[in-house]
Amino acid sequence: MATAFLSNFNYSDSLTVVGISVCTAIVCEAISWVLIYRTTSYKSLKSSIDKASKKLETMKTDSNPSKLSLKKSKTKKIDRVESSLKESSRDLSLFKFKSGAVVALVLFVVFGLLNSLFEGKAVAKLPFVPARIVQKMSHRGLQGDDPTDCSMAFLYFLCSISIRTNLQKFLGFSPPRGAAGAGLFPIPDPKSN
Amino acid sequence: MKERKSVKFNLQQQQQQHHHQNGHLSPFKFAKLLDPEASWDKDQLGDVLHWIRQVVALVCGLLWGTIPLVGGIWIIVFLVISSGIIYGYYAMILKIDEEDFGGHGALLQEGLFVSIMLFLLAWILVYSLAHF
């Protein structure tokens, strides 16, 4: 019945792409949960980052410039908290790297699967004419030159960003804001080693 | 000894409360969303702004798709509406001082990219399903 309902639409493939991408997002989060989020070392790392960034914020806001002698010790303290924060965020991103590899593999396989299913097929119609750079993606592998045809790659890209990020946020898995500065590949600090 | 134990227990409780505050499971009070007196911490405000943006993106996307609106200009209209709502919300309803939270830029870009993606997704989906 579902297929009969779906075949009413010209672009029912787009729903398939979205559905697959929702499932993938859930599977990826499940993998990350098993590999990272349920471990105690992750929890302690996260709470220490949260604490340190809060502490840093309060220390920076209520600085009192009138007490000169206190100021020096304070900057020292701030430096110490800052470096410990940096260290923990680096640990966190290293920690995430492990599951990141597995998740990337899953995404890659799913993308390959979708590619073989919908190759050269317009899965949706764009209501606007995208810029030329975006067209490279939205018109990838499609015949004809109607710029409003949308390939699977573009739709999958939109889905994977919007659905996955919101799912992470909803589940509370998004990285702590204090660690936002730490990128995927942290620059190793020679002092700490 | 007993005292020490109770102190420890208190600490644990505090930590638990703290944990609940950070998690999404915390008992969230909707009255706070409209209360200009309420105090906000950066994470909470960020989350609230993020979700408002997502909801606005979804509603706009569905609306644009059903009408249907066609043309790139509507992406800009969406951006203006969404940013306007966010700005109006924190500056007029909550009346917070944006300097405490890293300036207008930090507040306005909260969830911006993801909301654009969500908006495009909803718009494209509804448009291609409903009108072809």
CB of B129 within 8 Å of a chain A CB? The answer is yes
> Between vectors from CA A134 to CA A132 and to CA A139, what angle results, nearest 5°?
90
Sequence-distant (6+) residues with CB within 8 A of B38 are: B32, B94
Helix segments in B41-111, DSSP class H: 42-66, 73-88, 103-108
Judge whether residue A80 has pLDDT over 80. Answer: yes
- In DSSP notation, A66-80 reads T-HHHHHHHHHHHHH
> Is A39 in a helix, a strand, or coil?
coil
Average model confidence (pLDDT) for chain A?
79
Rounded to the nearest angstrom, the gap between the alpha carbon of residue A9 and the centroid of all alpha carbons in its chain is 32
Most confident of A75-79, A90-94, A146-150, B116-120: B116-120
- Which chain A residues touch B118 with a CB distance below 8 Å? 162, 166
CB of B66 within 8 Å of a chain A CB? The answer is no
pLDDT confidence of residue A4: 64
Judge whether residue A91 has pLDDT over 70. Answer: yes
Of A2 and A110, the one with more pLDDT = A110
Express as a percent the part of chain B with pLDDT over 70: 79
Average model confidence (pLDDT) for chain B?
78
pLDDT band at A128 (very low <50, low <70, confident <90, very high): confident
Judge whether residue A78 has pLDDT over 70. Answer: yes
Structure confidence by residue, pLDDT tens digits, B29-82 = 777 787 777 778 777 888 889 999 999 999 999 999 998 888 889 999 999 999
Query: What tokens appear for B131 in the block?
Result: 């009108």
* Phi (first) and psi of residue A124, to 5 degrees: -155, 170
pLDDT confidence of residue A83: 87
Q: Which of B54, B72, B117 sits opposite A128 (nearest CB)?
A: B72
For chain A, give every domain's residue range: 14-60+73-119+160-171
> Is A150 in a helix, a strand, or coil?
strand
pLDDT confidence of residue B54: 93
Of A192 and A106, the one with more pLDDT = A106
pLDDT confidence of residue B71: 86
* For range B98-112, the mean pLDDT: 83
As for the ipTM of the complex, it is 0.74
Q: Using the beta-carbon criterion (under 8 Å), do A18 and B117 form an inter-chain contact?
A: no
* Phi (first) and psi of residue A120, to 5 degrees: 70, 15
* Phi (first) and psi of residue B78, to 5 degrees: -60, -45
Count contacts between A and B (CB, < 8 Å): 78
Q: Using the beta-carbon criterion (under 8 Å), do A128 and B129 form an inter-chain contact?
A: no
Distance from CA of B72 to the nearest CA of A (A): 5
- Picking from B61, B30, B60, B36, the residue whose alpha carbon sits closest to that of residue B48 is B30
pLDDT confidence of residue B83: 92
* Phi (first) and psi of residue B9, to 5 degrees: -60, -45
Judge whether residue A157 has pLDDT over 50. Answer: yes
* For range A26-44, the mean pLDDT: 86
